[in-house]
């Protein structure tokens, strides 16, 4: 059984692995924040076993424990201690199979669950109130904050922006000049304030910022609309068409030509694989690539549209192709999750990511 | 994984360095902080330090503000928020401990967690 992170939200644990992307939302971060804040309070403010053991079930990473904690006894509203047992129960499953308690507490200590930890089982009567109530005894607003964040229903769970208006955080303001200081590294390069010699305070702070700016840009490429950005950069190269779906999305084989090369380095099986790989793409693009191919744009020679361009594949590139295209010698399967539309063109001359030993200009081959 | 290798190997080489990074490895270079919230809790068990409710409140605010920044300004879900991914640093100006979020964006960079052997939320 898969173990989940301790801050995994119920919707993540509930989801099938194939649906986990769809199930995850920004609300999952809010849940994780609730876990973190509650853990902080439990460990730092008042190291009480009631809180930490109550949290232990939510943080166990064990799906059954978390599911039980959230579906059987979780409740958005917390009753006062004297109202225990009559609280509103979230969801339909308000029957507690072990104790019959219908308390509305997120984790009820005095009704140990079948998955109760030894710490839970050793609870004495003094700590028999729920951990949220113990939390509330420290700071009531803190307890409400945690409870709001730990809403098991992501639909009703507040978003991060909504949670900012919680009374627990009332009166807190960001420090001046540090717009979002709490996130690194992207914050440093986004803040253009003059007085942002921040916590580091070292001499090469400016240098660090410039590096981080480029880092952030590339990082956004990794996370953001990479195809669009690349297409914008290489718009002069043109020749975009619906290529066949290589994996990964970014490093699909570009339609590149070359002047001369060492063909003996290409094995027959790889050649056959390339033939198969390019055949459908060539058919789809057809004459659209004429005159706009990457190689033809520079040299002005005959375009390579519809031709099989010999490309020497290194090991990593072969691993990215479909195994069926490469024959039995390659047993590395491409990641299945990469199903995005590939970007067909990019400036290969600017990306020499194989190192100097694979210098393009020296060998005359194009390595991808 | 190819995307990550390409991007991060090009990203993480600093401008004054020309050392090519090996392929098929994911290099993610980030600021380094000794302390995370998880290690802070461990430290505190050995060496008592005073943490007030106000401090936790401030940290909650800082974390939440970081989440708002990620969510609403950049459309990024952290997906790996835990005690281990929140760094604690001491500000040079007010000499107070502040928190920073770390390790976000790894989920995407690792092909939805398929390229690493530890789980992602």
At A135 the pLDDT is: 79
CB contact under 8 A, A353 and B10: yes
pLDDT digits 0-9 by tens, B75-101: 777 777 888 888 888 877 777 788 888
Does the pTM exceed 0.80?
A: no
For residues B78 and B111, membership in a common domain is answered with: yes
For residues B25 and B53, membership in a common domain is answered with: no
For residues B61 and B5, membership in a common domain is answered with: no
Transcribe A124-164 into DSSP letters.
-GGG-S-HHHHHHHH-HHHHHHHHHHT-S-TTTSPPHHHHH
Number of domains in chain B: 2
B105 touches chain A (CB under 8 A): yes
CB contact under 8 A, A37 and B59: yes
For residues B69 and B113, membership in a common domain is answered with: yes
User: B63 lies in which domain range?
Assistant: 33-121
Q: d(Cα B60, Cα A81) in Å, to the nearest integer?
A: 25
For residues B18 and B48, membership in a common domain is answered with: no
Instruction: Using CA coordinates, name the residue in chain A closest to B30.
Output: A185
Mean pLDDT of B24-37: 67
At A27 the pLDDT is: 87
For residues B78 and B110, membership in a common domain is answered with: yes
At A231 the pLDDT is: 54
At B106 the pLDDT is: 64
Burial A290-315 (b: 16+ CB within 10 A, else e): eebbbbbeeeeeebbbbeebbbbbee
At B109 the pLDDT is: 61
CB contact under 8 A, A335 and B115: yes
Q: How many Cβ pairs within 8 Å bridge chains A and B?
A: 217
Q: ipTM value of the model?
A: 0.75
Candidates A5, A165, A182, partner chain B, best to mutate (most B CBs within 10 A)? A182
Q: How far is CA B119 from CA A8, A16, A33, B75, in A?
A: 10, 14, 18, 22
For residues B39 and B81, membership in a common domain is answered with: yes
Averaged over successive runs of 10 residues, the pLDDT of chain A (368 residues) comes to 69 72 79 87 70 68 64 41 37 36 40 38 38 79 87 86 89 63 38 38 44 55 50 45 32 38 44 47 40 38 41 50 47 45 47 47 41
For residues B23 and B49, membership in a common domain is answered with: no
- Measure in Å the smallest separation between the Cα of A311 and chain B Cα atoms: 18
Instruction: Using CA coordinates, name the residue in chain A closest to B52.
Output: A45
Q: d(Cα A289, Cα A296) in Å, to the nearest integer?
A: 10
At B71 the pLDDT is: 83
CB contact under 8 A, A164 and B72: no
At A284 the pLDDT is: 40
For residues B11 and B44, membership in a common domain is answered with: no
Q: Where exactly are the structural domains of chain A?
A: 10-169, 186-224, 237-363
At A360 the pLDDT is: 44
Candidates B16, B38, B81, partner chain A, best to mutate (most A CBs within 10 A)? B81
For residues B63 and B97, membership in a common domain is answered with: yes
Of A4, A32, A337, the CB nearest to B81: A32
CATH code at position B72: 1.10.510.10
Of A28, A160, A226, the CB nearest to B79: A28
Q: What percent of chain B has pLDDT over 70?
A: 60
Instruction: Provide the 3-class DSSP secondary structure of residue B101.
Output: strand
């Amino acid at each position: 059984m898969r173990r989940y992170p301790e801050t995994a939200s119920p919707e993540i644990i509930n989801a099938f692995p194939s649906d986990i992307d769809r199930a995850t939302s920004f609300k999952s971060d809010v849940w994780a924040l609730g876990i973190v804040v509650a853990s902080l309070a439990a460990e730092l403010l008042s190291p009480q076993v009631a809180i930490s053991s109550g949290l232990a079930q939510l943080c166990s990473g064990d799906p059954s424990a978390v599911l039980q904690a959230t579906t059987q006894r979780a409740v958005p509203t917390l009753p006062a201690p004297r109202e225990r047992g009559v609280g509103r129960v979230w969801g339909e499953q308000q029957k507690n199979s072990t104790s019959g308690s219908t308390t509305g507490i997120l984790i009820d200590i005095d009704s140990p669950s079948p998955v109760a930890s030894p710490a839970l089982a050793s609870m004495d009567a003094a700590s028999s109130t729920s951990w949220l109530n113990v939390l509330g005894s420290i700071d009531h607003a803190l307890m409400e904050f945690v409870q709001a964040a730990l809403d098991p229903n992501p639909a009703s769970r507040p978003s991060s922006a909504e949670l900012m208006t919680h009374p627990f955080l009332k009166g807190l303001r960001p420090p001046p000049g540090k717009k979002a200081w709490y996130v690194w590294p992207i914050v440093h390069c986004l803040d253009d304030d003059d007085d942002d010699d921040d916590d580091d305070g070292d001499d090469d702070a400016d240098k660090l910022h410039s590096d981080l700016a480029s880092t952030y840009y590339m990082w956004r490429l990794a996370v953001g609309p990479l195809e669009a950005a690349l297409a914008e950069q290489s718009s002069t190269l043109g020749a975009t068409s619906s290529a066949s779906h290589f994996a990964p999305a970014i490093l699909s084989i570009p339609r590149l030509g070359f002047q001369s090369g060492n063909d003996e380095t290409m094995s027959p099986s790889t050649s056959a694989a390339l033939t198969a790989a390019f055949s459908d793409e060539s058919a789809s693009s057809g004459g659209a690539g004429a005159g706009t191919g990457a190689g033809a744009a520079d040299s002005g020679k005959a375009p390579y549209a519809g031709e099989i361009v010999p490309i020497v594949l290194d090991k990593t590139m072969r691993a990215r192709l479909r195994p069926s295209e490469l024959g039995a010698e390659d047993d590395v399967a491409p990641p299945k999750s990469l199903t995005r539309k590939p970007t067909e063109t990019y400036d290969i001359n600017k990306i020499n990511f194989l190192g100097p030993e694979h210098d393009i200009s020296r060998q005359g081959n194009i390595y991808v | 994984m190819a995307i990550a290798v390409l991007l991060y190997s090009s990203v993480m080489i600093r401008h004054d360095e020309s050392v090519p990074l090996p392929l098929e490895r994911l290099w993610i270079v980030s600021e380094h902080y000794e302390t995370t919230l998880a290690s802070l809790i461990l430290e505190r068990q050995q060496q008592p330090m005073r943490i007030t409710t106000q401090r936790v409140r401030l940290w909650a605010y800082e974390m939440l503000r970081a989440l708002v920044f990620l969510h609403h300004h950049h459309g990024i879900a952290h997906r790996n928020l835990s005690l281990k991914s929140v760094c604690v640093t001491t500000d040079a100006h007010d000499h107070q401990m502040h928190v920073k979020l770390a390790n976000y964006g790894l989920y995407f960079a690792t092909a939805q967690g398929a390229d690493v052997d530890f789980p992602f939320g």
